[in-house]
Amino acid sequence: EGTPAIEVGKVGVLGAGLMGAGIAAAASEAGVPVRLKDATTDALGRGMKYARGVWEERLKRRSLTRLEVERRLDRLSPSLDYSGLRRADLVVEAVFEDLELKRRVLGEAEAATRDECVYATNTSSIPIGEVAAGCRRPGQVLGMHFFSPVHKMPLLEVVVTKATAAPALATAVRFGRRLGKHVIVVRDGPGF
């Protein structure tokens, strides 16, 4: 509390699988433009279809209008590369649970983002400190462990390492609350 935080105006989500697409949909739902990146057009198509499905379900129940669904979709921008991440305030990585892949993606994202950008890895099993080992900006790295399905599960664990800077933590907590999540801050360790 009281720590300066970045007001997140744009988010990058790396990985368009169920978790990545769910996180992207939640951010768009909160009114934040999202750049959704994956390695293939097929993966991006599935991710966009998943996000649309979340809102179409609510359209059927009449809790959203067609215009509201379209506005949410307009805030999602799929990409095969890191273009558009230079303006991101927060990047959430949601790739497969593979340490080497997560480290590689972090390195690529660091090269494509501003120094102030907060980088969050969505993992349930890999220590955040191991993901951040060798990165250029360890103070900007933390975990944001969303639960599946993102649009239904209210809990969000924000996982801090010994190197995580207080403003990065404050930014992640504030953003999680903006998504309507019940945010708890936990230390990096087995099972968080």
**Position 146: which residue type?**
F
Nearest in space to 13 (alpha carbons), one of 3, 31, 1, 28: 28
- Whether residue 167 contacts residue 5, with contact meaning beta carbons closer than 8 Å, is answered with yes
The answer to whether 157 is a known catalytic residue is yes
One of 29, 93, 110, 157 is an active-site residue; which one? 157
Put the strands of the sheet holding 155-160 in their side by side order.
76-79, 34-37, 11-14, 90-93, 118-121, 141-146, 155-160, 182-187
Q: Is the peptide bond before 149 cis (omega within 30 degrees of 0)?
A: yes
Q: Which sequence positions are flagged as catalytic?
A: 157
